[in-house]
Amino acid sequence: MRNKILLVEDSKAVQQMYRNKLTLEQFQVLTADNGMEAIKLLSGEKPDIVLLDLMMPVMDGFKVLQVIKTDSRLSGVPVLVFSAKGQPEEVEKALNLGAAGYIVKSTTKPNEVVEKIRTVLSQRPPEQSFAQYTIEIREDAYDARKLSDDFKLNNFRCALCSAPMLLDLIPEFSHETPWFSGKFFCPRCTARQ
């Protein structure tokens, strides 16, 4: 699963550079040009991490940080702030508001920024600890038969050994509502492998 990052930056050049860099590094990148846009976007999205410029027109990064950290839906999302020169009072204010860390924009190389993002992501507490669920489908229930027909699932019987297949559901945490990907497998053949 690719990590989703929200990049909030008013300089189009800086935004473009990081968008390219982070896309290359396999992140899914969302962008906003200012704080107001970021807030609007966050009402429908929950990124895994936010990279937030502090000095922006319309609405600055401090305000965005405040909104994120006081919203129960978003407060767990780590926020890394871009400080133009790393002024102590600016950095302290951001950390007090709940920033996970800061990056001095003028002296930090893109590679180091990516490294920092990965470090912060790796330190996140696991949101939930369940891994996956195994489900059995009743072939006569609801749309089971249609599902079998549409996807050639052989009435949920293994094509090799005819054992009833089971469905593994794997939760995905990047969605608001419970969201799963599913995979049918044969418990008998799987056990033999």
Which parts of this chain interact with Zn ion (CB under 5 A)? Answer: 158, 160-161, 163, 186, 188-189
CB 66 within 8 A of CB 58: no
CB 51 within 8 A of CB 7: yes
Distance (Å, whole) CA 134 – CA 181: 12
Report CA-CA distances (Å) from 20 to 50, 52, 157. 16, 16, 46
Q: Least CB distance from residue 182 to Zn ion, whole Å?
A: 18
Q: Least CB distance from residue 181 to Zn ion, whole Å?
A: 21
Q: Least CB distance from residue 192 to Zn ion, whole Å?
A: 8
Q: CA-based angle 20:24:27, to the nearest 5?
A: 90
Q: Least CB distance from residue 157 to Zn ion, whole Å?
A: 8
C-beta of 98 vs 164, nearer to Zn ion? 164
C-beta of 159 vs 169, nearer to Zn ion? 159
Smallest Cα–Cα separation from 2: which of 25, 19, 27? 27
Instruction: Give the N- to C-terminal CA distance of the chain in Å, as an integer.
Output: 26
Q: Least CB distance from residue 77 to Zn ion, whole Å?
A: 42
Smallest Cα–Cα separation from 134: which of 154, 158, 161, 164? 164
C-beta of 30 vs 189, nearer to Zn ion? 189
C-beta of 94 vs 158, nearer to Zn ion? 158
Question: Which structure tokens are listed for 4?
Answer: 């989703």
C-beta of 118 vs 188, nearer to Zn ion? 188
